[in-house]
Structure 1
Amino acid sequence: MKKFEEKTIKSEKIFNGKVINLQVDEVTLPNGKTSTRETIKHPGAVAVIPITKNNKIILVEQYRKPLEKSLIEIPAGKLEKNENPLAAAVRELEEETGYTTKDLSFVTSFYTSPGFADELMYIYISDQLVKMDHPPQGDDDEFVEVHELTLEEAKQYVIEERIHDAKTNYAILYLHALGRM
């Protein structure tokens, strides 16, 4: 038995969507009592920390409906069914920024919200970017603006909460800790 394991008694699928699925599980707790867990199932996601030859971070600004505001973030997106995370990272980089790379290095992966979701995000980095002449079109319902910021500018954006999501904050902290820029 896993430490503090909660055994599922029954599971009810509530919603199956394009991005997430929601289910409600009845579970047996480690102390023998029962409880209910609302769980979001997500296919996983990727994000890229793209660094230009001028030592600037390429970020994208887009409107986030759940927050009712725009955020500036590192390029990212969800995995398609059976998609390799490395291939997905290159795809998202190309679609969102118009850059590509043949040198993408894995940094880490982490669960974005383990209290209610199983989304696992993979983070990659590249400083070997090439501007594409004809970048692929992104999603029809996705509108982004590309920004290039120094690490110091990005840190200021964090303070101003223009950068206000976990993956991008992680990226900035990672770059700061490396002393790369």
Structure 2
Amino acid sequence: MSNLFEKELSSEKLFSGKIIDLYVQEVELPNGKKSKREVVKHPGAVAVIARTSENKLLLVEQYRKPLERTLVEIPAGKLEEGEEPIVTAKRELEEETGYTTDKLSLLISFYTSPGFADELVHLYLAEDIQKMDVKAELDEDEFVNLMEVTLKEAEQLLHEQRIYDAKTAYAVAYLQLQEAAKK
């Protein structure tokens, strides 16, 4: 066991919501002192990097209430209970963009904010995407605008802070590295 381990002494659930649960935990620190931790439990999520046959990156513009503004992001969504991440990735790609694929590969999984949350995002690369004849339905409380942009345009959206979340910034950096490797 690590010498940095914090032993949980107690845990109280303060809130149980549709997406998250919030706990306050009392822990024993490595030096024997006690402290409180506020912990957000999240079921996990997926995000998808997808490009059209014209090499356009699929992005969605969506209003984000905590920020009181819209952001431009790669398609993403939370895992449903018992659902495998690859299934979620395909579902979110279809719902948010109207495209589908049978070729999804996991690039990496990462924690979004490990200082207070356990949300793990699984980032997939979608290849050989095809436009669906009939677009899948969005969740009833979800509204997005589909955008198809070049890598240069995505870089500009980053510069303008319209792309302003880690998963999408990571996706743009990944594509930049892929382009640089081709040269």
Shared topology, TM-score over 0.5? Answer: yes
Q: Does 2:105 match 1:105? A: yes
Unpaired runs of 5+ residues, structure 1, are: none
Q: CA deviation at 1:101?
A: 0.2
User: Which letter does structure 2 place at the counterpart of 1:34?
Assistant: K
The answer for the alignment partner of 1:118 in structure 2 is 118
CA distance in 1, matches of 2:78, 2:105: 18
Residue 179 of structure 1 aligns to a residue whose secondary structure is: helix
The answer for the alignment partner of 1:170 in structure 2 is 170
Q: CA deviation at 1:70?
A: 0.2
Q: CA deviation at 1:133?
A: 0.9
User: Which letter does structure 2 place at the counterpart of 1:120?
Assistant: L
Residue 92 of structure 1 aligns to a residue whose secondary structure is: helix
Q: CA deviation at 1:2?
A: 2.3
User: Which letter does structure 2 place at the counterpart of 1:172?
Assistant: V
The answer for the alignment partner of 1:155 in structure 2 is 155
Check whether the contact 1:53–1:127 (CA below 8 A) recurs between aligned residues: no
User: Which letter does structure 2 place at the counterpart of 1:48?
Assistant: V
CA distance in 2, matches of 1:178, 1:36: 43
Structure 2 matches for 1:35-114, cutoff 5 A?
Answer: 35-114=35-114
- How big is each residue's C-alpha offset from its partner over 1:116-165, in whole Å with a ceiling of 9 and x where there is no partner? 00000000012311101112211000000000010011001001001000
CA distance in 2, matches of 1:96, 1:175: 20
Unpaired runs of 5+ residues, structure 2, are: none
Q: CA deviation at 1:3?
A: 3.4
Q: TM-score, normalised by structure 2?
A: 0.97
The alignment-based identity, stated in percent, is 59
Q: CA deviation at 1:110?
A: 0.1
Q: Count matched residues.
A: 181
User: Which letter does structure 2 place at the counterpart of 1:137?
Assistant: E
Check whether the contact 1:26–1:34 (CA below 8 A) recurs between aligned residues: yes
The farther-off stretch of 103-112 and 171-180 is 171-180
Q: Pairwise CA RMSD of aligned residues?
A: 1.0
User: Which letter does structure 1 place at the counterpart of 2:123?
Assistant: I
Check whether the contact 1:157–1:163 (CA below 8 A) recurs between aligned residues: yes
CA distance in 2, matches of 1:136, 1:153: 27
Residue 66 of structure 1 aligns to a residue whose secondary structure is: helix
The answer for the alignment partner of 2:31 in structure 1 is 31
Q: CA deviation at 1:178?
A: 1.1
User: Which letter does structure 2 place at the counterpart of 1:29?
Assistant: L
CA distance in 1, matches of 2:140, 2:63: 14
CA distance in 2, matches of 1:162, 1:14: 34
CA distance in 2, matches of 1:155, 1:12: 43
- Deviating beyond 2 angstroms after TM superposition, the runs of 4 or more aligned structure 1 residues are none
